[in-house]
C-alpha cells in the first residue's frame, strides 16, 4: 500500500512539473524545438508511469521515473539558457 501511494505521489509531482514546463515553453520567446520536444516527451513519461503503476511493476516504475527526472533536468537546463 505504501509503495502504491509513493508511486501515485511521484506521478502527481511529475505531472505538475510537466504542466509547468509546457506552459513555460509555450510562453517563452526563445523556446526551441528541442525544449518543446523534451516537454512533450515528459507527457509521454507521465502516461507510461501511470500504466506501469496500474500493472504493479515497481522496479520498472522507478527506473522509468529516474529517466523522466533526468529528462526534466535537461529541459530545465535548456530553459535557463
Task: Show the CA angle centred on residue 8, arms to residues 4 and 13, nearest 5°.
Answer: 145
pTM score, whole prediction: 0.83
- Give first-to-last CA distance, the chain, whole Å: 41
Model confidence at 1, pLDDT cuts 50, 70, 90, reads low
Residue 65 vs residue 26, higher pLDDT: 65
pLDDT digits (tens, 9 = 90+) for 36-54: 788 888 999 999 999 999 9
Question: Which domain, by its residues, includes 71?
Answer: 2-80
10-21 per-residue burial string, b: 16 or more CB within 10 A, e: under 16: bbeebbebbeeb
User: How many domains are there within the chain?
Assistant: 1
Amino acid at each position: 500500500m505504501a509503495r502504491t501511494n509513493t508511486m501515485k505521489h511521484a506521478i502527481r509531482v511529475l505531472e505538475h512539473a510537466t504542466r509547468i514546463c509546457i506552459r513555460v515553453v509555450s510562453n517563452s520567446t526563445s523556446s526551441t524545438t528541442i525544449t518543446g520536444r523534451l516537454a512533450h516527451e515528459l507527457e509521454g513519461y507521465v502516461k507510461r508511469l501511470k500504466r506501469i503503476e496500474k500493472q504493479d511493476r515497481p522496479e520498472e516504475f522507478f527506473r522509468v521515473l529516474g529517466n523522466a527526472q533526468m529528462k526534466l533536468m535537461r529541459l530545465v537546463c535548456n530553459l535557463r539558457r
